[in-house]
Amino acid sequence: MEMKKIKYLHILWMDDLKFYKNLVEMINKEKIYFNKEEHYFITPFKRVYENLKEYKNVCLVEEKNMLNRYGEKASFIFLHPLSLKKRQVIRIPNKIAKKIIWRTWGHDIRPLDIKNDNIFVANIKRILNKMYVNKVHKFKAIGIADDVDRVNVENVFGNDIPTCILGYGYDIMRYPKLEKIANEKIKENTSVRVLVGHNSAKADRHFEIFEYLKKYKKENITVVLPLAYGDAENAEKIKEEALNIFGKNKVEFWEDFVTYEEYARRIHGIDIAIIDNIYSNGLGNWALLTFFKKKIYINKKGNIAQSCKRNNVKIDYTENIQGESFEQFSKYYFDPKLKMYEEISAQKVCEIWKHTLDQLKTNGQIKLLEEK
């Protein structure tokens, strides 16, 4: 593919559909905020391309050397997300690196491990990690969803790398739909409905949570487990253990893929959520839980806890469940300072993106858009 000089190149670098449609639609349809002629989207994944090919500025390309080949033609490069190993990041030419805004998806930023019984190998890891961090510091910025992502970035790269909010929540009907659902009467259910995790990945620590909850197995409780995606093998183990502890009448599995609206309606019907992962995962799920003002338990050592602490938000920790009676556990609490982290107003999402693009156009740099 021959590509002309372009202002903004977006590399859609995951074989995943959940965010890209909103992003591409926003850039192409919101003419007040964006000039679609300045944006070009490329992806190496046929499934992603087929989902977006109605837009003329989306192209299917070969993945090999994609970043360098097409990055040379762009003034700025948005990576959605960064899908390279550390050693590949280190090899990114500086002339390309300085153009990059890495829109993290959370999973692509993790602590830099140097543990190894072999001292030589541990030292090599330490050197490579330093080279990796130095290279990322040459990037123009890291795009984030919220303060939880910012914690994730700062824990790995320090707080001197620019970050900017770049939301994927563009959907002009999203907020009206959520408000409508929030006003719907929840189906009468006398049991306390407890959501555990947001998918079947091991990071959601299902088995540890089951240990906390099993003392309530004779209470009027329903343990709700979203297992539609994640680790399929682990999902089977989760189901087996949940049924073994709580019995089939006190467990509910969400194994089907549903629309955003239907999923939101399911979250609205939850009483308590236990989100025990350590790092930045499932923030869309978190957004719904906070929008509907659910009681939430989180991991005391996790990124969400760090964000809550520095924003003076009071929240429950999963480890506290061990010392709580069922009455204490099921008692409702929600700190009004716990804002919904993911922006749901389509207009606001557009404004924040435009603010970032305007900064790039004006001086080639990004400063954080202060919240009003």
Domains of the chain and CATH, by start: 6-169+344-363 (3.40.50.2000), 174-330 (3.40.50.2000)
**What per-residue confidence (pLDDT) applies to 1?**
55
Residue 2 confidence (pLDDT): 61
pLDDT at 361: 85
Q: What whole-number distance in Å separates Cα of residue 339 and Cα of residue 256?
A: 29
In contact, 82 and 110? CB cutoff 8 Å: no
Alpha carbon distances (Å) from 347 to 18, 165, 200, 283 = 20, 14, 33, 20
SS3 of residue 367 by DSSP = coil
| pTM, to two decimals | 0.85
**pLDDT of amino acid 90:** 98
Question: What is the mean pLDDT for each group of 10 consecutive residues in the chain (372 residues)?
Answer: 83 93 96 97 98 97 95 97 96 98 92 79 91 97 92 93 90 83 82 95 95 97 94 96 97 93 94 91 82 95 92 94 97 84 74 93 69 39
pLDDT at position 370? 46
pLDDT value at position 365? Answer: 78
d(CA 194, CA 250): 10
Task: State the DSSP code for 283.
Answer: H
CA-to-CA distance for 274 and 317, rounded, in angstroms? 9
Rounded to whole angstroms, the Cα distance separating 342 from 291 reads 9
> What pLDDT score was predicted for residue 371?
41
The residue behind tokens 């850039």 is 27
Handedness of CA 269, 271, 276, 278 (dihedral sign): positive
What would the two tokens of residue 145 be?
């969803």
**Which residues lie closer than 8 Å to 112 by C-beta, 6 or more apart?**
129, 132, 133, 156
